[in-house]
Amino acid sequence: MSTPFNGVAAAPQSTVPMGALIKDSTDQGFKADVIDASLDTPVLVDFWAPWCGPCRALTPALEKVVNEKAGAIRLIKINIDENPQIAGQLGIQSIPAVFAFSGGRPVDGFMGAMPEGEVRRFAEKVIAAGPTPQPEEGSMESQITEALAAAEQALTEGDLNRAAQIFGMVVQHQPDHGAALIGLARVYLAAGEADQAQATLDLVPEDERKGDAYTTLVNSIRLLAEAADLSETAALEAAVAANPDDHQARYDLALAFNAEGKKVEAAEALIAIFKRDRTWNEDGARKKLLEFFDAWGPRDPATNKGRRLLSAALFS
């Protein structure tokens, strides 16, 4: 990489006909209607069934938001009673369930009913992270793309030194490369250097402060900061055991669990508050749980389990 890449190409404008924005599909049509279609335009998949009451509330909100976006995103509806195969492959255990596909793969999702405003924000996040043109082979952009992929692989494998070296090399050639800066900040956070992670994140250009990776990192740093001044976990557990209705202690315990990497325990603690008193702290337990999901990312097993537990609590 002898010269810096000068910019990130903008996402292409959608050419999806308005009549094709919303349609019903099947297990057999899933590849064409969702996988292939999402290579050009993000696709939301609404898994529903005629007997599902919350589905009847959610689907109209999805349809309204998709129509508002005028071709920037599509909606595919799948009746799981008639088409159980894809739902089974995706591990769907409760409905409504919505999966977002972009670039031929699932990138986000949620389970349970959601107000129209939250549906709109969810769709906007998916659109913002939608498909972008692929770089030409051998170009500087292609080299940077390959380098970032190698750095991501190293980070996934826990090789923080190699990941930092590669992300740092990209930043050296292009100091304002958002993806490289976010990657480098993730390395710092994984190494326990939250302050350095925040300092690196602050260098990300304003117009690139979006997408799952950025949002997840911001939330992770903030949650760690919130947990820094809490009492020790053992003391909080004792407080909850002594008084199960001490919601503040249980809430602090959830933050402490999350800081220790005990994600499922953190989710269970917040859901326990939600079950006991949904109105506590202005729905604070549910709101914090949603922040956890954002921080953990949509593909984290703890997010999936937490969403199932929350869905069960919502409709129990």
Q: Report, as residue numbers or ranges, the catalytic residues.
A: 52, 55
Instruction: List Cβ neighbours of 223 (8 Å cut-off, separation of 6 or more).
Output: 255, 258, 259, 291, 292, 295
Residue type at 13 in one-letter notation: Q
- DSSP for 11-56? PPPP---GGGSEEE--TTTHIIIIIIGGGTS-EEEEEE-TT-HHHH
Nearest to 121 by CA among 100, 137, 146: 100
How far is Cα 33 from Cα 55, in angstroms, rounded to an integer?
Answer: 21
